[in-house]
């Protein structure tokens, strides 16, 4: 499973047509916008790893302006997840091939599990998401910009379970 985290001042997602006649599906203020890709080999363990990283990666300054000191959960900020199968692409010449992306039926279940893990281990009202499988328009105001890629295939050996995440 891959997650692209972008530190944002705000973000919103709408189904097309974008923000004119389209319906705004979700929006957040300061926090993290997360694009989530699910591969054919991903399992619930991958979802747990990605959830733990989303909640605990230190992307923000502390009260003394020390960089990279606080996480989204430390600051009680919002998180918006958007499914994006295109994160698992291979280029064949100039044409993208998405055979490594999990099919929509199975990936919808695993994506839902990721959201559930986040909601269980954080304030559920601060977890938002787009419309799974829809053509969406995503608008965001980057903060930094700060963008990180997290890949569960490159997990460290730490085994902290999501239920062990400290959220105040």
Q: What is the pLDDT of residues 8-56, one digit of tens each?
A: 999 999 877 776 566 788 999 999 999 999 999 999 999 999 999 999 9
126 φ, ψ to 5°?
A: -95, 0
Catalytic residues: 86
Q: What is the per-residue pLDDT for 22?
A: 65
Q: What is the mean pLDDT of residues 67-95?
A: 97
Rounded Cα–Cα distance for residues 53 and 72 (Å): 10
Q: What is the per-residue pLDDT for 164?
A: 47
Q: Using alpha carbons, list the distances in angstroms from residue 67 to 5, 38, 59, 64, 136.
A: 17, 30, 8, 9, 33
Q: What is the mean pLDDT of residues 98-107?
A: 96
Query: What DSSP character marks residue 81?
Result: E
Q: Which has more pLDDT, 136 or 79?
A: 79
Q: What is the per-residue pLDDT for 41?
A: 97
Matching CATH number, 2-154, of 3.40.630.190, 2.40.50.1070, 3.50.80.10, 3.40.50.1820: 3.50.80.10
Rounded Cα–Cα distance for residues 147 and 89 (Å): 19
Q: What is the per-residue pLDDT for 19?
A: 61
Assessment of whether the complete model's pTM goes beyond 0.75? yes
Q: What is the pLDDT of residues 149-167, one digit of tens each?
A: 999 997 654 444 444 444 4
Query: What are the structural domain ranges in the chain?
Result: 2-154
Any residues with CB less than 8 A from the CB of 90 and at least 6 apart, and which?
96, 97, 99, 100
Q: Which has more pLDDT, 90 or 167?
A: 90
Question: Which residue bears the tokens 């430390």?
Answer: 74
């Amino acid at each position: 499973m891959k997650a692209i985290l972008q530190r944002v001042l705000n973000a919103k997602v709408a189904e097309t047509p974008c923000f004119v006649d389209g319906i705004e599906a979700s929006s957040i203020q300061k926090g993290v916008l997360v694009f989530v890709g699910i591969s054919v080999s991903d399992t619930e363990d991958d979802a747990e790893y990605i959830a733990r990283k989303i909640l605990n990666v230190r992307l923000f300054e502390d009260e003394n302006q020390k960089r990279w000191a606080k996480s989204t959960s430390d600051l009680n900020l919002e998180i918006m997840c958007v499914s994006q199968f295109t994160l698992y692409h291979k280029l064949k010449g100039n044409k993208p091939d998405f055979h490594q992306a999990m099919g929509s039926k199975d990936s919808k279940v695993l994506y839902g599990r990721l959201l559930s893990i986040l909601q269980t281990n954080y304030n559920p009202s601060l977890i938002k998401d787009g419309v799974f499988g829809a053509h969406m328009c995503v608008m965001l105001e980057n903060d930094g910009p700060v963008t990180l890629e997290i890949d569960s295939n490159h997990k460290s050996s730490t085994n902290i379970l999501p239920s062990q995440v400290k959220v105040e």
